[in-house]
A = this chain, B = another copy of it.
Amino acid sequence: MNLLKISKALADGTRYKILKILMANGEISCGELEDHFTLSQPTISHHLKILYDCELVSVKKDGQHSLLSVNKKMLEKYFETLKMELVK
Contact = CB atoms under 8 A, between A and B. Distances in A.
A4 interface: yes
Interface size class of A (residues with CB under 8 A): 20 to 34
A52 to B, nearest CB: 17
Contacts of A79: 79, 82-83, 87
Main secondary structure of the interface of A (DSSP, over half): helix
A11 interface: yes
Contacts of A13: 4
Interface stretch (A16-24, A29-37, A40-48, A58-66): A16-24
Given A8-B11, A10-B82, A19-B86, 19 more contacts: A3-B16, A4-B11, A4-B12, A4-B13, A4-B16, A7-B7, A7-B10, A7-B11, A7-B16, A10-B11, A20-B86, A23-B86, A23-B87, A70-B86, A72-B87, A75-B86, A75-B87, A79-B83, A79-B87
